[in-house]
Chains A and B, each alone.
Chain A
Amino acid sequence: MSPIVVKRELSRRAEKPRVLVIGAGGLGCPIVELLARVHVCELVLADGDVVDRSNLPRQWLYGDKDVGKAKTAAAAARVRDLAPGAKVETRGVFRLPDRLDFALVIDGTDDVDFKFALNDAAIAARVPLVSGGVVGLVGYALSVRPGQSACLRCVFEAPTDEMRKTCRDAGVLAPLPSIVGSVMAAMAARTLAGEAPEAMWSIDLGLSQARPSRWQRRDDCPACGRPS
């Protein structure tokens, strides 16, 4: 996959597409910052957490002064400093929206059950989704174009106990979410530019390897499969 190519006409468009980013943590921080810097969309950032000291190694938008503040407010304030003119709306809740009335949804959460629910909702609403996750030394980014590319259930089928391990349980190397978040931001920008990014990208720092992989939509997928 090449770096994101943001067409001049997209960044100059008067009415920008609205993009929902759920999660203002290790993945959400680089995604929101990098998309705000290219001015290709209006961002809606949703998260119900406050900044904790243990977040600071991974969540680079926050500093000591932000500990105890709502993540969405702290992130939006920092992004407006870094990217003047960027539009960032905040929602201080962490739940599936009633309506996915967005050009693109980005999943930066670390709750695997929520990820599958969001995948199903995006498929039902036919809204493109960029999903990602990190734990330990591994991570992935997945671009879902409903009806055209594999969805989260085509790849992983259903949540398992192994997938429910979070960074809180198993730990995570601090800069890893910024690597995965950068790739997710690139996938998002390419989707907004009308391109079709590679479906799946994964990284394993233990092996020092990252690679794209191709996945076909499954006809029997409960979320995006064709009805028999």
Chain B
Amino acid sequence: MILDDKELELFARHVSLKEIGAPGQARLLDTRVFVADDVPAREALVVGLARSGVEIVGDEVTATWRVEASELSPPGVVDFGSGQVDVGPFDFALANRLEASGAVATKERWLGALLACEIVLAILGHRPPTFSLVCDFPDYRRQS
């Protein structure tokens, strides 16, 4: 797949990023991701993936990657597998105690954008086949 002029203009900052480049952006544009409804921070995650050029699809059958909520992971841990992402039950207890909805929005925006970055890098092969993220706003680390 070769990027056309409009795609080169739209994704100029990805094309000039050495970890992506034109071949990587073409790969992102050729990727279809299904994000389950109950995934935490879903709205920001979907926006982050879509704005990166990934196609968001509504069915699991045509998807090349799936992002699903997982009951298995401990809170704050996100497990990544090859071609699949299991998002653990992120701990929003602190956010739920806050009185202003914007506080929750800040944490959700952070988590959704962070997951979008990690998934993009995983699609491009910059992550090991399986890894976990330990997330605690605003810090996180990867465990392989």
Q: Which residues of A contact B (CB under 8 A)?
A: 1-8, 11, 30, 34-35, 37-40, 53-54, 56-58, 60, 136-137, 167-176, 178-179, 181-183, 185-186, 189, 201, 205-212
Contacts and interface: CB of A to CB of B under 8 A. Distances in A.
B93 to A, nearest CB: 11
A5 B120 contact: no
Given A4-B102, A186-B106, A175 B113 contact: yes
B72 interface: no
Interface centre among A6, A170, A182, A212 (most CB of B within 10 A): A182
B112 to A, nearest CB: 8
Interface in B110-144: 110, 112-114, 116-118, 120-121, 126-127, 131, 133, 137-142
Contact of B11 (A11, A57, A183, A211): A57
A11 B100 CA distance: 8
B interface majority secondary structure = helix
Contacts of B26: none
Contacts, number: 162
Nearest to B47: A60
Given A3-B98, A6-B99, A210-B139, A170 B17 contact: yes
Nearest to A187: B138
A4 B103 contact: yes
A11 B102 CA distance: 11
Nearest to B138: A183
Contacts of B95: 3
A40 B105 CA distance: 14
